[in-house]
């Protein structure tokens, strides 16, 4: 993932460690989630001991429209780059799993 979408934000180590613990313990699978636009990533909205402000990259920006602009640009670059793989059925089948701009 392009970490520039996190606006230079650095999560505190304790929150990062708790996030990893939630993944290892399976708590992340039980957590409520929301989708990130353009990429359809499911991100948790809460995890035990983790500041919710670091879970959604949009929340790390002072102005969420700045995140939106960068994410849209990244999605466009993925879409443009992937066109070279659409020449066969296997590549075409992967397109729906990639980023989108709608």
Residues 47, 22 contacting (CB under 8 angstroms) = yes
pLDDT of residue 4: 52
Calculate Rg over the CA atoms of the chain: 16
pTM above 0.85, yes or no: no
pLDDT(17) > 60: yes
The total of other beta-carbon atoms located within 10 Å of residue 58's CB is: 19
pLDDT of residue 15: 72
Mean pLDDT of 25-49: 93
pLDDT(1) > 50: no
């Amino acid at each position: 993932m392009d970490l520039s979408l996190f606006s230079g934000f650095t999560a505190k180590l304790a929150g990062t460690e708790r996030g990893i613990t939630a993944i290892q313990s399976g708590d992340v699978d039980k957590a409520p989630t929301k989708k990130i636009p353009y990429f359809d990533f499911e991100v948790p909205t809460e995890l035990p001991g983790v500041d919710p402000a670091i879970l959604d990259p949009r929340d790390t920006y002072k102005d969420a429209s700045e995140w939106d602009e960068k994410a849209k640009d990244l999605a466009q670059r993925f879409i443009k780059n992937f066109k070279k793989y659409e020449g066969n059925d296997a590549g075409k089948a992967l397109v729906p799993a990639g980023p989108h701009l709608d």
